[in-house]
Amino acid sequence: MKTLYREFISTTLLILGISILIGFILANVVYVIFTKEEITQQNMEVAEQIVHVLEEMHVSSHTVHPFLESVGQLGYQIYLANRSGEAYFFGEPFEHSRLPHTMDQVLSGTPYMGKDGIWDQFWMMGHFSNDIRNTVGLPLQIGNQTYALFVKPASKILFSDIHMMLAGFIVAVAIVSLLGVIKMTKRLIHPISELSEATKAITNEDFTYSLDIHRKDELGQLAENFLRMQQQLQHNDVARKSFISNVSHDFQSPLMNIQGYGDLLLLPNLDEKTRLQYAGIVSDEARRLSNLTKQLLLITSLDQSGYPVKKSPHRLDLQIKESIKKHQWSLQDRNLTISYKLDKAVLYSDRELLAIVWDNLITNAIKYNQPNGHIFISCTTAGNKIILTFEDTGVGLSEESAKQVFERFYRVDATRKKDGTGLGLSIVKEIVTLLNGTITLESELAKGTTFTVIFLMEGHDESWNKNGVYG
């Protein structure tokens, strides 16, 4: 497997190699354009001085060799040849000493200026090699004899101590840089490897994996985001398991009742009154199951991010009045009174979802009200806000219960398990949030509960007339 560590090291080495290559090419270009001619001219001046001294002062061939020997000891490489093929070397010997056509050129009086081929011109290192072609050549006249004199600085001069120190410095920098890159890579890869292990743990539903990453850079931010994600996934996992457990329990209880009373209905000696009683229980439990199934389907749909919200302008006050009419029989059955003060309020929102909200809030106020209790509903507008309240004189909630009442399957006590599913208020919360509203409650034990729903109006539609008719 191609690891990130290897890829990072390989990329670094590739960049280093490309940088060295580009630097070498640029150095060659600078040498050829600016430096080579200057160095050649300096070597030519040295050669001219040697020729001048020999022609003016050493007119005898017996003194030429000792003089050239002394010059060679000063750090120069010299090659001396004549037409008859006699050749002499002074100073450090050349590794390559063949000059095929250059000898006749110099002997005929034309100076030799070193390498001049296209490739040789560009290849800088070739100018510093121990090759006789890197010399400069001039004709030398000693008495009646013509010689060709070739001169170049010795390699020890070209590669002096300072050059060796510079080369050592470059090598040391390269080694230290490479070691630094390796160490830095390990430091960068370690948290990524740790995050990879944590991801594997989450895949195996282990949400307790501890990350030991303390950084202030992007990797540190990634680790912090990962920890938040881990905590959220752990919370979601607990909620999911709790949801499944609650659903299983809520389905099991009515199913067992239906099965038990269904078996009792099969008894041959069952009187009519008892049979009707058992049949009523079976019907109530079946209705409870149907209601639970509908609510589960609704809350599952609301959980999806792409739930289709069908918005249209409609009168909230009229819609709430319609919902109150649907519950008149429940109010009379429980001997409850209801009053309302509903100002005209137009909201651009989903009519069907809002109907579910009003139905659940009114049902909740009826179900948990006290005998001969009262319900008061209001709808007012304040600026761009629509404020709706549902107040009852019911059993109320404790402070702790009020904090959890919007959670799924939450029931305050055993008395609330009779007809409820524990999903009604959680559905109300989901819908109000989906429609960009807020819902809060105030409650006191034995005195009642008030739910407050607030929506922001999204502007005014001119086609909505005074009578509340669209069009």
Q: Categorize the per-residue pLDDT at 468 as very low, low, confident or very high, splitting at 50, 70 and 90.
A: very low
Most confident among 117-121, 193-197, 283-287 (mean pLDDT): 283-287
Q: Which contacts of 290-295 are long-range, i.e. CB under 8 A and separated by 24 or more positions?
A: 291/421, 292/250, 292/251, 292/254, 292/421, 292/423, 295/421, 295/423, 295/424, 295/427
Q: What is the CATH number of the domain that holds 262?
A: 1.10.287
Question: Looking at the structure, do residues 268 and 316 belong to the same domain, yes or no?
Answer: no
The reported pTM is 0.52
Q: How far apart are CA 18 and CA 26, in angstroms?
A: 12
pLDDT tens-digit readout, 330-375: 899 999 999 999 999 999 999 999 999 999 999 999 999 998 999 9
Among candidates 394, 407, 409, 403, which has minimal Cα distance to 446?
Answer: 394
Please check whether residues 293 and 328 belong to one and the same domain: no
% of the chain beyond a pLDDT of 90: 29
Question: 146-150, 158-162, 213-217, 348-352: which has the minimum mean pLDDT?
Answer: 158-162
Q: Beta strand pairing status for 337-342 and 374-382?
A: parallel
Higher pLDDT, 107 or 157: 107
Read off the DSSP letter of residue 210: P
Predicted pLDDT at 359:
93
Q: Mark whether 155 and 28 lie in a shared domain.
A: yes
State the Cα–Cα distance between residues 150 and 312, nearest whole angstrom.
Answer: 101
**Are 452 and 362 found together in one domain?**
yes
Examine the fold and report which residue of 97, 128, 159 is the final residue of a domain before the chain moves on: 159
- Taking 90 as the threshold, does the pLDDT of residue 389 lie above it? yes
280 and 343 co-located in one domain: no
pLDDT score of 269 more than 60: yes
What do you get for the CA distance between the two ends of the chain, in Å? 67
Q: Which of 159, 188, 206 is the last residue of a domain?
A: 159
Q: For residue 463, which amino acid is it? A: S
Diameter over CA atoms, the chain: 156
Whole-number average pLDDT of the chain: 82
Residue 352 lies in a domain: yes
Query: Span 2-9, mean pLDDT?
Result: 69
Tell me which DSSP letter residue 407 carries.
S
Residue 459 has pLDDT above 90, yes or no: no
**Does 360 lie in the same domain as 251?**
no
Lay out the sheet containing 136-142: strands in order across: 87-90, 76-82, 145-153, 136-142
> What CATH number did the domain enclosing 357 receive?
3.30.565.10
Which tokens in the block code for residue 456? 């922001």
Q: DSSP states of 71-125 as a string?
A: HHHTTEEEEEEETTS-EEEESSPPSB---TTHHHHHHTT--B-S--SHHHHH-GG
Can you spell out the DSSP letters for 160-208?
-HHHHHHHHHHHHHHHHHHHHHHHHHHHHHHHHHHHHHHHHHHHTT---
Domain that holds residue 397: 309-456
When mean pLDDT is compared over 166-170, 244-248, 291-295, the highest value belongs to 291-295
- Looking at residue 393, its pLDDT comes to 95
| Same domain? 277 vs 323 | no
Asked if residue 108 and residue 17 are part of one domain, the reply reads yes
pLDDT category at 386 given cuts 50, 70, 90 is very high
Q: Is residue 466 part of a domain?
A: no
Residue 291 confidence (pLDDT) above 50: yes
Question: Which residues fall within 8 angstroms of residue 289, CB to CB, at 6 or more apart?
Answer: 251, 254, 255, 258
If one compares 55 and 49, the residue with the highest pLDDT of the two is 49
Total residues belonging to the chain:
471
- Estimate the share of the chain in helix, then strand, then coil, as percent rounded to the nearest 5: 55, 20, 25
Is the pLDDT at 92 greater than 80? The verdict is yes
Q: Select from 98, 125, 159 the last residue of a domain.
A: 159
Residue 463 inside a domain? The answer is: no
Is the Cα dihedral 168, 172, 174, 175 positive or negative?
positive
Could you read off the pLDDT of 161-204 as tens digits, one per residue?
A: 555 666 676 777 778 777 877 777 777 777 888 888 888 888 88
Q: Are residues 230 and 271 in the same domain?
A: yes
420: CB partners within 8 A, 6+ apart = 367, 411
pLDDT in tens, 218-238: 778 888 888 888 888 887 787
Phi-psi region of 468 (alpha: psi -120 to 50; beta: other; left: phi over 0): left
- DSSP single-letter state for residue 437: -
